[in-house]
Structure 1
Amino acid sequence: MVPQSAYTAFVSWVQGAKAVFLFLFAHPAAGAENRKEKKQMKLNGSQIFVEVLAEQGVDTLFGYPGGAVLNLYDELYKNSDRIHTVLTAHEQGASHAADGYARATGRTGVVLATSGPGATNLVTGIATAYMDSVPMVAFTGNVATTLLGRDSFQEAYIEGITMPITKHNYTVRRVEDLADTMRAAFRIAQQGRKGPVLVDIPKDVTAAVCEFTPKAPELIRTVTSYNEEDVKKAAEMINAAQRPVVYFGGGVRSAAGCQPLRDLLEKAGMPATYTLMAAGVLSYGEPHNLGLLGMHGCYTANKAIDEADLVIAVGTRFSDRVALNPDTFAKRAKIIQIDIDPSELGKNVAVDLSLTGDASYILQAILPYVEKTEHKLWMEQIRQWQKNDYKPVDSDTELKPHQMIAEICRQAGPEAVYVTDVGQHQMWAAQYLHHTKSRGFLTSGGLGTMGFGYGAAIGAQMALGRDARVIMLTGDGSFHMNLNEGCTAVSYGLPIITVIFNNQVLGMVRQWQTTFYGKRYSDTDPHRHTDFVKVAEGFGAKGYRATTPEEFKAAFADAMKQQGPSWIDCRIGKDEKVLPMIPGGGDINDIIME
């Protein structure tokens, strides 16, 4: 028998030899003259940066070069066969692209920017990812460690700036700490409630040399702190309910899987409603799907929550756009809340039972204890309420948002991925898109970032490939903020179709001014004369203009044939409204339907 100590030593030797072999194999160009150095794994910070990215499975990096990150970009150039870099028009666009990449795939998005203004231009994108729990790692360059804190050229204290909008952030002051700091960033971005992490790397760290040891990516631990008694109690509450409703949010999309939610709805025979961040988890037209909940949610969904005797809140935080009045939200119901983040439990609305952990695993644990039920009377009542849902009026001559979206769905098909900016078009998209994919609707929910859409669409298209169908829905107000990324879409030949709901006003704010501010339209009519068709052509994209349903149908059909990006300027009425609407602080009794 081989002694245990000898066996352990042998295994360690084999693992070490394997690591060295893998590293050398990844660097076939290494000559005999530096073979000894490679065996010792001596690398500079830029080489370590690339090695850890590859180690973590990163295949695409979005960003913009600058002085503080020249060493990093030089090394990325040498490794372009391993990691694809995408140059955007602006660092904010790069951050949104990394975000869109992550939302479309579930993988961690990566963005790189230089110091000072390059780093601060990422802030809005990082905050957007933070509010929507999107896994992203942002790398920024900085001045050399000897210049930190001296108001040096293009210096910014980005670690302090981003502290409130990241899960964690770091400034790497020693090259010896770089690899493990990067590894920790990728782990933190994905573990528990997902979110962005920032790593700031001074320029001298990218040039300094130290020993490097390859490591496999860490296994992400599943957060579960619920107990069996709570699981049984939740099932008992579900079995006892006569009017149950599941209300779920983006945490379901981020969970290990969505199927346990569908299994629960089927087994317990109960309906479900969702937040903006969870649109698409349930396919359009599913019998259990009540539609969107909250300020611009449908009447039936809001009425069902108001009349329910049990609400099972899964992966959602009772935001002020859903629980508009926390004191009256689901006032007749007991509430079970399931969330991976314990800080969200009972934070906005008092709950009767809370369970912490990945929604998928908790629902799987509950399912065996749930009785097979149909709740026929409750579902019949819901069908009656659905007769009162808001129904927009069609037109044969004017462009109507709901008809445009129906035509988009018909032509783009069930596998399309839809990306939105923020405003009226975003709400129309959430209301009328025929969602069939859990990651098929990408939008800025928590922060509500105008200008999010085009960068995110670029990230999604890059992640999914040119054969994927990505549709970007925007308003003229939002699109003006980041339409400069049109040059990025053209440069990379991305067939993104952009549909501009152009009412020539800031529609959502104007709608509020109409309803609550006596039609005092303060700075919501910008009097812009932008010709989006000419701007598209100036970038090298295909431009269309549509003023009637027939023109839009033809324009969209032609855009579907293009190999590069297309913009369709759709002229809609400035008085088109997003309905229904419940004012902030109101409830179902305050709903506006016309």
Structure 2
Amino acid sequence: MQLTGAQIVIECLKEQGVDTVFGYPGGAILNLYDELYKHSSEIRHVLTSHEQGAAHAADGYARSTGKVGVCLATSGPGATNLVTGIATAYMDSVPMVAITCNVGVSLLGKDSFQEIDITGITMPITKHNFIVKNVEDLAATMRRAFMIAQTGRPGPVLVDIPKDVTANKTKFVSTVIRKPLRVADTILPKDLEDAALLIEKAQKPIVFVGGGGVISDASEEIAKFVSLVDAPVCDTLMGKGAYDGTKSNYTGMLGMHGTKTSNLAVQQCDLLIVIGARFSDRVFGNAASFASNAKILQIDVDPAEINKNIKIDSEIIGDIKEVLLRLNQIVKQQEHKEWMQHILEMKETYPLSDPSDGLSGPQVVETIFEMTNGEAIISTEVGQHQMWAAQFYNYKQPRTFLTSGGLGTMGYGLGASIGAQIANPDKQVINIAGDGCFRMNMNEIATAVREQLPLIQVVINNHVLGMVRQWQSLFYGQRYSHTILNDSVDFVKLSEAMGADAERATTIDEFKEIFKKALASKTPYVIECVIDSDDKVWPMVAPGKPIDEVMSADD
């Protein structure tokens, strides 16, 4: 049948099982929006307050479900407003397809109104991108975009379509889309045997889980593997929930704001088993001293991550789930009683603590965990509150912690929480923000109200840019250059003006009372929590220092 380019895009979305898209219309994309109008019963369109919010919402939808998130924007500034969200998804390996529409083919390259080379701009921050100048190529390109976004290490793909291509017609033949196969042909028997031998020789192993464990849906396989190895488990920011954070052998996050137990254990272990983690600088601190007493076994789907930042001893390349399914068949049951007892003693000696007086970020996060029984989906912005959310909420399931790890995007969490709440209507979604981050994209509260979402927005307000101030306190002689937010912004009134319920808490008892009301609410609820400006995230490793040189509040 003959269809316009806009109709083909819609049919391709339906082929992929897309039920929700996030976006903002404009002149160049009007043909596509006209078709969306006609298919509103099949594809839900969420109009965000800003295109960046649309990209973050598509990201949150994807992270919380494992499906491909989809966002739309028009040409020029509409497309460029997606860039931060696309880069966020790229750094954290999130499957996303961003669809932009450009000026007509004949107007490209002529500085036309709202023309921008969005494929050139996004080339470094996408797995692949396309500009489709011929309607005959559109269906194949859309299908390829979704395949690339999901295959191997996931990531964002951009498809830019000139306006006349969305209007032109061509023959369209629908097809049945098959789910991409997991990467398994790179899993070599010799690599599996070498890994099993390293594990059998180890006396003090530790398992280090990253975002790949979440992305590959390998939680069950990780749990079985950890039991076979008889090892403690630490994780990255992105790996939260891949292993149950309430287990006794879980030691917490590793790295700059990791637990003292995790950092010391990695420095003391004789085998570090790395599952789907990329050795971020925030994890290893000082590369020369990192896990210097250990052999390192790395399991990853992306061969580019092998020996990139840290020299390793053995690797297995392939999808985490597929690797562990095979490894669990050949690894013999291990036993490390003395090592495991040592880990438990360190956990008792070096617990996470909150040295603050009065209402604090850790108190708020612990209360959220207790009052949700750890069953909520938590999203965050970036900064001190993000670290407290990682430290003091014990994530029991994967895809329940959504945060910008690689790019560190302030303004990410609220959009992500909207995407996650729409994708998971039966779960409670809570975004934890700092006041500096909330300012960046707080207009998305209006989106949450329009969509009647029951999400909860917690703003931990210390009236400063907390994490930057912490660095200024510790490393810049307390010179607080432009990090003090001592203005008269009233987040409660602003939230109410956008249609949300909103209250302010200054004590933990007030927070508990308000949070209980928020949990019962069926509409967006904003809770501002006022804390001290000088509260800090502890423990902390100074940049470039070995991870066992951990500072506490006492230090």
TM-score interval, normalised by the smaller of the two chains:
over 0.9
TM score, norm. by length of structure 1: 0.92
Task: Point out the more displaced range, 243-252 or 276-285.
Answer: 276-285
Q: What is the CA–CA distance in structure 2 between the aligned matches of 1:103 and 1:427, rounded to whole Å?
A: 19
Q: Is the 8 A contact 2:260 2:548 kept in 1?
A: no
Q: State the distance in 1 between where 2:530 and 2:236 align.
A: 29
Name the CA shift for 1:517/1:70 in 2 (closer, same or farther; >3 Å): same
1:112 to 72, 79, 82: 72
Counterpart-to-counterpart distance in 2, 1:358 and 1:551: 46
**Corresponding residue for 2:289?**
328
Contact 1:390 1:580 survives alignment (8 Å)? no
Match of 1:572 in 2: 531
Are 2:76 and 1:102 aligned?
A: no
Compute the displacement of 1:256 (Å): 4.2
Aligned match of 1:544: 503
The code of the aligned residue for 2:238 comes to: M
Q: CA deviation at 1:499?
A: 0.8
* SS class of match (2:206): strand
Question: Letter of the aligned partner of 2:178 in structure 1?
Answer: E
Gap runs ≥5 in structure 2: none
Correspondence for 2:363: 403
Equivalence map 1:20-419=2 (5 Å): 41-224=1-184, 225-393=186-354, 398-419=358-379
Which letter does structure 2 place at the counterpart of 1:209?
K
**CA offset digits 1:362-415 (Å, max 9, x no partner):** 1111112212122001011112222332442477x7102222112111222332
Report the counterpart of residue 592 of structure 1 in structure 2: 551
CA shift, 1:493, in A, is 0.5
Which SS does the other structure have where 2:378 is aligned? strand
Q: Give, as a single letter, the amino acid of the residue that structure 2 aligns with 1:332.
A: N
CA distance in 1, matches of 2:364, 2:374: 16
Q: Would you say 1:449 and 2:409 are equivalent positions? A: yes
- CA distance in structure 2 between the partners assigned to 1:155 and 1:218 by the alignment: 35
Out of 444, 450, 468, the position equivalent to 1:491 is: 450
SS in structure 1 at match of 2:539: coil
Deviations 1:143-169 (A, max 9, x none): 000000000000000000000000000
Q: CA deviation at 1:468?
A: 1.6
Q: Distance in 1 between the 2:381 and 2:374 partners?
A: 21
1:408-431: CA deviation from partner (whole Å, max 9, x where unpaired): 112223321000000000000000
Match of residue 466 from structure 2: 507
Q: Following the alignment from structure 1 to structure 2, what is the Cα–Cα distance between the partners of residues 384 and 570?
A: 35
* Cα distance in 2 between the residues matched to 1:434 and 1:257: 18
Structure 2 CA distance for aligned equivalents of residues 65 and 588 of structure 1 = 48
Shift, 1:548, TM fit: 0.7
Match for residue 530 of structure 1 among 454, 479, 489: 489
Provide the rounded CA distance (Å) in 1 between the counterparts of 2:506 and 2:179: 53
Q: Whole-Å Cα distance in 2 between the matches of residues 476 and 401 of structure 1?
A: 12
Larger radius of gyration: 1
Give the conservation status (yes or no) of the 8 Å contact 2:108–2:115. yes
Gaps of 5+ in 1: 1-40
Structure 1 contact 299–388 (Cα < 8 Å) conserved: no
Whole-Å Cα distance in 2 between the matches of residues 148 and 57 of structure 1?
A: 32
Q: Residue 21 of structure 1 aligns with which residue?
A: none
Q: What secondary structure sits across from 1:446 in the alignment?
A: coil
Give the secondary structure class of the aligned counterpart of 2:541: coil
Amino acid in structure 1 at the alignment position of 2:334: T
Amino acid paired to 1:563: K
1:46–1:75: 8 Å Cα contact kept in structure 2? yes
Where 2:101 maps in the other structure, the secondary structure is strand
Displaced runs of 4+ in structure 1, greater than 4 A?
A: none
Which secondary structure does the structure 2 equivalent of 1:528 belong to? coil
Q: Distance in 2 between matches of 1:234 and 1:363?
A: 11
The Cα shift of 1:212 comes to: 0.3
**Identical aligned residues as a percent:** 53
Distance 1:258 1:577 in 2: 32
**Preserved contact between residue 394 and residue 400 of structure 1 (Cα < 8 Å):** no
Cα deviation digits, residues 560-582 of structure 1 (max 9, x gap): 12111011110000111000000
Is the contact made by 1:42 and 1:211 (CA closer than 8 Å) also made in structure 2?
A: yes
**Contact in 1 for aligned 2:126/2:158 (Cα 8 Å):** yes
SS of equivalent residue, structure 1 residue 448: coil
> Residues 311 and 334 of structure 1 are in contact (CA less than 8 Å); yes or no, is this contact kept in structure 2?
yes
Deviation at 1:551, TM superposition (A): 0.7
Code of the residue aligned with 2:233 in structure 1: it is A
Q: TM-score, normalized by length of structure 2?
A: 0.98
Residue 528 of structure 1: CA displacement?
A: 2.2
Deviations 1:129-153 (A, max 9, x none): 0000000000001000000000000
CA RMSD of aligned residues (A): 1.1
The AA in structure 1 aligned to 2:541 is: I
Contact 2:284 2:547 in 1 (8 A): no
* Structure 1 position 247, deviation (Å): 0.8
CA distance in 2, matches of 1:360, 1:408: 31
Asked if the contact 1:457–1:471 (Cα under 8 Å) also holds between the matched residues in 2, the reply is: yes
Paired residues in the alignment total 552
Query: Do the aligned partners of 1:406 and 1:432 also contact (CA within 8 Å) in 2?
Result: yes
Matched, 1:439 2:399: yes
Asked whether the equivalents of residues 502 and 571 of structure 1 are also in contact (C-alpha less than 8 Å), the reply is yes
The 8 Å contact of residues 267 and 548 in structure 2, kept in 1 or not, is answered as: no
1:467-526 CA-partner distances (Å, limit 9, x unpaired): 320011000000000001011000011111111110000000000000001101101103
Q: Given residue 93 of structure 2, which amino acid in structure 1 is its aligned partner? A: S
